Structure 1
């Protein structure tokens, strides 16, 4: 016990000294003035709507009256579906239940106030984002004295959990990377052995990507090969996690030839690589290599930003008279129409974009840590505050998670790519216009894509809202299916787990909610449904399994290992 206390004291002292020396540096890839402007617009919007604001206040007074009547009568009410308040004390103990319900009611009322305010779409989204960050931070679950689990743990350890947690906090702050850097154990998995471990070979590479082909496990395979295009922000192996979760392994075992694009982790040397480079020298180059190796046009599938790149690439191929180079395309959680970005529109603002471009100029790319912080802020309760509670208050290590390990294994994005993507696609939504976006001088039109397309949205997606994805599917005439769960977890849905479910419907009415109201809910995973769709849109023929005779190096390859 004495040695443990001495070790904690030493760590606290060293961390404090690093803080005093000013070793922690911060950058600002955003515009503080834009935040102040949005706040001012919001205040002016409230002042211009006194009647609506009065109605919100009257509703709030009535709701608080109902709250106190219920609290004083001891009525428990319905337990909210909120993982922050999962412990039974939040429902069974009147003190904790009162804290929880008062917090949730106040949060709702403040969000109602935001809805009254006026301002631009980006300004309104910025106000919502700032409020959500505040409300997430002040949740009673985040404080030692108002979280029943922390109170219990503190009694059990005589407060050692709080001392040790404070040491963790100082170490994380002085690392220069910010707080909560231990969402998962970095040594819990090893790429190529316990994760991203499906056998295969790198069979092609250029300065932007390596192409991986996976070794067959069946005697016969479908004629049409599969080609996966991931987003740039994370490594490709979200679809090749531990074997029981691996979509790659499942597809290979189902008799599919699977190729995967593994993007390089950009450095200063890639500073000038823009969207068009990733389309032509990335996606199209991969399609060409797969066709050369198999003699067949591939079925492409892609996730998030990867799907946007695939859509652009298919439109470019069509404009080049090569529309048959792809047999089909499946876009998962991908936007092709950026008119409605929900809370993400808070960051699509001229001031923020200009500040980000200045920030990018010096280093030539946006760092993966900055991207992780942004995505974590959008899911603060799951990716920040739950870790604060576990790591700093409970002093408990998070259980190993292959998905969190992948999330934290981020990649950089080149400056030129981010500039063109942010301004032309996000801000000006040029991809939604006929011939509004050009690739190396050739205007592209998504309506000209020749390959059959399927769009898969995820119902609880916080990055690509499912109804916005649905609208894009209607615009390009794609088939549509809705999977359960969120942006990442909804993709990793092996049939053996029998989770989440998915919705299908043949027609596509204009309104997304109307589509869902008339859709059929199916149990389990969408993976088998998807491979049936692929079969229906393919030749239905098989060939002998395609052995790999000319591999460059074993999967997952050097690019996936790059720091």
Structure 2
């Protein structure tokens, strides 16, 4: 071989070998990742642990045998998943069958899932395995409906967790992002993950993007009343006249009240004020150890106290009420008690936002009321309250693909910046629950469905019989609600005795409620509210595009359309009830 030939072969760089600069850079990336993990580990030593970290340290709760088994199986499943998808990724490329274009799955939106033979094969193999697992679950013999529902839920959860998109080595988008950013995306994602581990909670948004009372929950008002369980907010009117009958809203204490006051464009509170309503909002206190003995009776008594406080403050005989989710369930019990005591006239009307009283068809949440789950809850609630992050994890698991794995990929694998999304901030702003009340609620309502059995339950010394409720009721349900399913909410129609109006809103538990007219989104259906069944109602229903809020305000006005001038007590703090502090108050900011 001539010298020229030798030169030609030695001077041409091998395209498959990284350059020295590349080797040095990636070594630096690995070193920085190790440093980040070391710093995190040091911050978790006993001397430096925060309360939140201790609470979410597996050593504090994995003593439960059921939890140990779950953890072991999950770890084994994850290891097997990594090995399986990695082995597929190393196979020689081959031409797979044409991908199923009829199925639209956002997880596989990257073009390489269809055009790259290896990734196309991984995707189709995953689809076949998932279909087989779900089919096998559905065909199992000897299972009662509840057990079968648990098996199907578990199968779907495992399938979502095992998706090849959840692993960096088998997600083409993650690989390309890592190459494009020279590893910076992986480091950023690792930082996101370590921060979440420190917080004990999966983040959907930057926790510092919003501040309650500054750029979220900003409708002007005053806290005019306060107890150990709640604060009462009165909002500042924006019209010269208001409806004589005020509106009192009871949000669920599982979440913060400001889901109804996210920002001026989305705020139900601000919109209701603009319609000429005197609006009051209950802001529940997040539970702490001092509330270990709080039970359902206390929340019912608090609702009655709030009703009477507003009546006295404005010198009116009655109030309109709204109960959202669990607060709506409780409001039904409150109305039954008032009716039994001959005091039903204190409430002019009741509106139920996605609320249930009959839990026979309560959906996937019924799977979380078996003995093993209740035993785990008791262990987690040792301080006398359940940390709200556990409840958030439970609700997120109902839509694990969207609310867990989607963010694992986006936040941790791709290293994306967090979106400044107020709804997701609210979703992560958890509240703690009194342990005794929470257990009572799961047992008496979700498991034993006692609320619809007349006089089976009592509160505040009075038996609960929903048939006694004759208060005019507006019942709103979400067509795609997975927390309070449509069929379950409909059961309210069977248990109340007064005039009832049923409205079916597009979307689900949150977007179906928080749908301002200006947004021009979704739709709603109205029909024969005297229909004997939900199917009959749906058959009679007609669709209207947009928000259902205008339909509701027309219904409210039909109950009593008399208006009065805004003066005196109609202005927060100007009546007998003096202002304690500005809205949104202290309780909503407590963690």
Q: How do residues 437-476 of structure 1 correspond to structure 2 at under 5 angstroms?
A: 437-476=457-496
| Shift of residue 328, structure 1, vs aligned partner | 0.7
Distance in 2 (CA, whole Å) between partners of 1:146 and 1:314 is 56
Give the match for residue 562 of structure 2: 541
TM-score, reference length from structure 1:
0.86
* Deviation readout 1:267-311 (Å, 9 max, x if unpaired): 11111110011101x111111111112214111112111111111
Q: How do residues 375-414 of structure 1 correspond to structure 2 at under 5 angstroms?
A: 375-414=395-434
Give the match for residue 57 of structure 1: none
RMSD of equivalent CA atoms: 2.7
SS of corresponding position for 2:521: coil
| Shift of residue 36, structure 1, vs aligned partner | 7.9
* Deviation readout 1:375-422 (Å, 9 max, x if unpaired): 111121122111111111111122111111111111111122112212
* Deviation readout 1:185-229 (Å, 9 max, x if unpaired): 111111111111000000111111110000000101111211110
Distance in 2 (CA, whole Å) between partners of 1:502 and 1:190 is 33
* Deviation readout 1:103-125 (Å, 9 max, x if unpaired): 34543442232223343444333
Distance in 2 (CA, whole Å) between partners of 1:508 and 1:116 is 39
Matched, 1:561 2:589: yes
Q: Pick one of 534, 551, 555 that aligns with 1:529.
A: 551
8 Å contact kept, 1:210–1:263? yes
8 Å contact kept, 2:96–2:117? no
Q: How do residues 149-228 of structure 1 correspond to structure 2 at under 5 angstroms?
A: 149-173=173-197, 175=198, 177=200, 180=202, 182-228=203-249
8 Å contact kept, 1:122–1:349? no
Shift in CA distance, 393/355, structure 1 to aligned 2, threshold 3 Å: closer
| Shift of residue 556, structure 1, vs aligned partner | 0.4
8 Å contact kept, 2:247–2:320? yes
| Shift of residue 544, structure 1, vs aligned partner | 1.1
SS of corresponding position for 2:253: coil
Residue-pair matches, total: 523
SS of corresponding position for 1:525: coil
8 Å contact kept, 2:113–2:119? yes
Matched, 1:267 2:291: no
Q: Pick one of 393, 396, 399 that aligns with 1:373.
A: 393
Matched, 1:111 2:134: yes
Matched, 1:520 2:559: no
Give the match for residue 84 of structure 1: 107
Distance in 2 (CA, whole Å) between partners of 1:18 and 1:557 is 33
- Range 194-203 or range 27-36, more displaced: 27-36
SS of corresponding position for 1:327: strand
Q: Pick one of 135, 144, 152 that aligns with 2:168.
A: 144
Distance in 1 (CA, whole Å) between partners of 2:456 and 2:33 is 59
Give the match for residue 309 of structure 1: 330
Shift in CA distance, 102/532, structure 1 to aligned 2, threshold 3 Å: farther
Give the match for residue 13 of structure 1: 38
Shift in CA distance, 145/355, structure 1 to aligned 2, threshold 3 Å: closer
Distance in 1 (CA, whole Å) between partners of 2:291 and 2:513 is 30
Distance in 2 (CA, whole Å) between partners of 1:482 and 1:339 is 20
SS of corresponding position for 1:284: helix
| Shift of residue 101, structure 1, vs aligned partner | 4.9
8 Å contact kept, 2:99–2:124? no
| Shift of residue 30, structure 1, vs aligned partner | 11
TM-score, reference length from structure 2:
0.82
- Higher Cα Rg, which structure: 2
| Shift of residue 424, structure 1, vs aligned partner | 1.3
8 Å contact kept, 1:29–1:359? no
| Shift of residue 241, structure 1, vs aligned partner | 0.3
8 Å contact kept, 2:261–2:268? yes
* Deviation readout 1:350-394 (Å, 9 max, x if unpaired): 33224423442x300101111111111112112211111111111
